[in-house]
Structure 1
Amino acid sequence: MPLRYLFKQLLLPPGGLFLLLLLAWWWRARRPRLALACGVLGLGGLWLSSLPVAVEWGGRLLEREPALATAEWPALAQRAEAIVVLGGGRERGDPGWGGDQPSLSAMERARFAARLHKASGLPLLVSGGLHYGAPPSEAELLAAVLQEDFGVAVRWQEGASRTTWENATLSAPLLRAAGVRRIVLVTQAPHMPRARWCFERLGFAVVAAPMGFLGVANARPWGGWLPEAAAVWQSGQLLNEAAGLLAYPLVYR
């Protein structure tokens, strides 16, 4: 996990762009042309990744699965046998809550899954392991939120996975033991293509239930061409998903 974390932090925005700027400064005297190229790429990348309009464009490229219409929710019990909710990170030691809590992304997934469960009656599986090796697991936090805040009991918890591939491979035995072969999969829209690929690779029929779409009209002044801090984080998420879509078929055959 530390090496994987370091790799992502150094390559994805803003880390990779700051690295380019550092190289531009380092090479400014010895390799001025290369330094100029690094500086242009670094500054240009920071500007582009900070634009809501760039996030919108990137989201449209990655968000391949359409939204599941609310009218379809009650009929999900005829299309699937369980709802699988993937963990989306956690926030450490929030004094307001007196402990760790699911991240905002994970909370969005929990809320959406609770709505789907109440409409369809399908049982829930939550998947997500330890955050950098420290308990509680993301699955445990999600199960607590679903029970305490939404009044929904979770049937299965998978609390050892560290990646999307492990979400699928470690959830599969729990689902198969219960005779589940068709699932409703809940995660953010940019993450859905990679997540769906993982579960389908293991033989599950997947009904995609994406939410948290980024490829929608950004509703910002001047069309989203002004820099915004949130866009940098969202750009990093989109690039992470793009890299995952390319790497997963090569790594997990």
Structure 2
Amino acid sequence: MPIRYILKQLFMPPGVLLLLLLLAWWLRRRAPRLAACCFVAGLGGLWLLSLPVTVEALARYLEREPVLATSAWPQLAQQAEVIVVLGGGRERDDPAWGGDQPSALALERIRYAARLAKASGLPLLTSGGLHYGQPPSEADLAAEVLATDFGLATRWRESHSRTTWENAVNSAALLREAGIQRVVLVTQAWHMPRARWCFEQAGLTVVPAPMGMLGVANGRPAGGWLPEGRALWQSTLLLNELAGAVLYPWLYSTD
């Protein structure tokens, strides 16, 4: 198991918050005041991240790209040459389907890319590697869904990337061979700023096509101040994205 994955689970929520609670238990006799601080930080962090209002606030900070109006979809072919849809994970061995399937996040992206492709007539590129180190790749799964469920062929498949940066670099290499430089980029709105930055660093001109907004009125009882499991999961996605937005320019900038 990659050390990077282990470290990410330990030092990003909810892992780091659970470690704080464990530390509070271990320190309860040795250092009661420090134990109390760890307990409050761990439990308070879990409560805060489980609130829909927290998700809404974090997402509004990240979701900076405007959506594409549906009336603009047919004109996309005048602005770009291909639609690039990024992988968003995969689920292993679903018995209902007889094999691996794209995750819920990935399916959102695929569906939106299919609508854009049908409206604009632009070709498709799917990007995403071997999520568990074994085939099929996320790109192949996306291409299969596009063909089977939407009747759309995928012209290019980028099947080796493990990160958003590799999505961009590998896709740019494929498209460069075809003389293509302008892309419509499809991913979740909270992921779009980092994804767009990566693709532009790789030398491509990007028309952002964000979807799956979380920074909208949450519509939950009590205004979103009641904790829920889904909000905890979404908060961890957004915090991971914030960390990526900070680290990527430092790790990958070509300037």
Bin of the TM-score, shorter chain as denominator length: over 0.9
Q: Which residue of 2 aligns with 1:230?
A: 230
| Matching residue's letter, 1:113 | A
Q: Match of 1:190, SS? A: coil
How far apart in 1 are the matches of 2:7 and 2:185? 28
Q: Which residue of 2 aligns with 1:72?
A: 72
Q: Which residue of 2 aligns with 1:211?
A: 211
Q: Match of 1:131, SS? A: coil
* Deviation per residue, 1:191-226 (Å, 9 max, x gap): 101100000111111110010100000000110000
Question: What is the RMSD computed on CA atoms of the aligned residues?
Answer: 0.9
Question: Number of matched residues?
Answer: 253
Q: Which residue of 2 aligns with 1:32?
A: 32
How far apart in 1 are the matches of 2:27 and 2:69? 54
How far apart in 1 are the matches of 2:226 and 2:25? 27
Q: Which residue of 2 aligns with 1:159?
A: 159
How far apart in 2 are the matches of 1:79 and 1:86? 19
Equivalent pair of 1:59/1:238 in contact (CA under 8 Å): yes
* Deviation per residue, 1:20-53 (Å, 9 max, x gap): 1011111122222221111111011000010011
| Matching residue's letter, 1:135 | P
Q: Match of 2:208, SS? A: strand
Equivalent pair of 2:172/2:203 in contact (CA under 8 Å): no
The alignment-based identity, stated in percent, is 71
Q: Which residue of 1 aligns with 2:150?
A: 150
How far apart in 1 are the matches of 2:155 and 2:212? 25
Q: Match of 1:230, SS? A: helix
**Where in structure 2 are there 5+ consecutive unaligned residues?**
none
Q: Which residue of 1 aligns with 2:53?
A: 53
| Matching residue's letter, 1:3 | I
Q: Which residue of 2 aligns with 1:189?
A: 189
Equivalent pair of 1:67/1:209 in contact (CA under 8 Å): yes
Q: Match of 1:24, SS? A: helix
Deviates further, 32-41 or 103-112: 32-41
How far apart in 2 are the matches of 1:4 and 1:233? 20
Deviates further, 6-15 or 91-100: 6-15
Structure 1 residue 2 corresponds to structure 2 residue 5: no
Q: Match of 1:91, SS? A: strand
Q: Which residue of 1 aligns with 2:109?
A: 109
| Matching residue's letter, 2:217 | A
| Matching residue's letter, 2:128 | G
Q: Which residue of 2 aligns with 1:82?
A: 82
| Matching residue's letter, 1:27 | L
Q: Which residue of 1 aligns with 2:63?
A: 63
How far apart in 2 are the matches of 1:217 and 1:152? 34
How far did 1:132 drift? 2.2
Equivalent pair of 1:84/1:184 in contact (CA under 8 Å): yes
Q: Which residue of 2 aligns with 1:128?
A: 128
| Matching residue's letter, 1:73 | W
Equivalent pair of 1:13/1:233 in contact (CA under 8 Å): no
How far did 1:10 drift? 1.1
How far apart in 2 are the matches of 1:119 and 1:76? 9
Q: Match of 1:141, SS? A: helix
| Matching residue's letter, 1:87 | G
* Aligned pairs (5 A) from 1:171-190: 171-190=171-190
Q: Which residue of 2 aligns with 1:118?
A: 118
TM-score by length of 2: 0.97
Equivalent pair of 1:84/1:126 in contact (CA under 8 Å): yes
Q: Which residue of 2 aligns with 1:92?
A: 92
Runs of 4+ in 1 over 3 A off after TM superposition: none
